[in-house]
Amino acid sequence: MSVKQETRYTEDHEWIRMESADVGTVGITDFAQEQLGDIVFVELPEIGRKVKKGEEVAVIESVKAAADCKAPVAGTVVEVNQTLADEPGTVNKDPAGKGWFFKLRLANPADLASLMDEAAYQTTVQK
């Protein structure tokens, strides 16, 4: 059975795309990276770290500001994007693809229902 790769969004401009029934890839949206400007450093979480929904998991530093990538749902970090350590600008070039931050094994996949779909997120950004 294949899992539909639906992307869900938070009000803080993070996204999560489910890669399997209980593991999702997390990153920041194109809107977020545009607001930050050129990203110069990313601090990634430890693999195995348990996180709560809304908890600061990764640190993003840009020429303009520092920001956090928060966990859209509770879970355990199972993988990080090591490319970002050497090439943090990947987030600017491809925020919804190669610029992902970490993969999370969800504590409760039903938590995804509390996040916005793409249409709702786009409405939020356009306000």
pLDDT less than 70: residues of the chain: 1-4
What domains appear along the chain, each with residue ranges and CATH number? 14-125 (2.40.50.100)
Residues in CB range of 69: below 8 A, 6 or more apart? 14, 26, 27, 28, 56, 57, 58, 59, 60, 101, 102
Q: What is the pLDDT of residue 59?
A: 97
pTM listed for this prediction:
0.94
pLDDT digits (tens, 9 = 90+) for 35-56: 999 999 999 999 999 999 999 9
Q: What is the pLDDT of residue 127?
A: 73
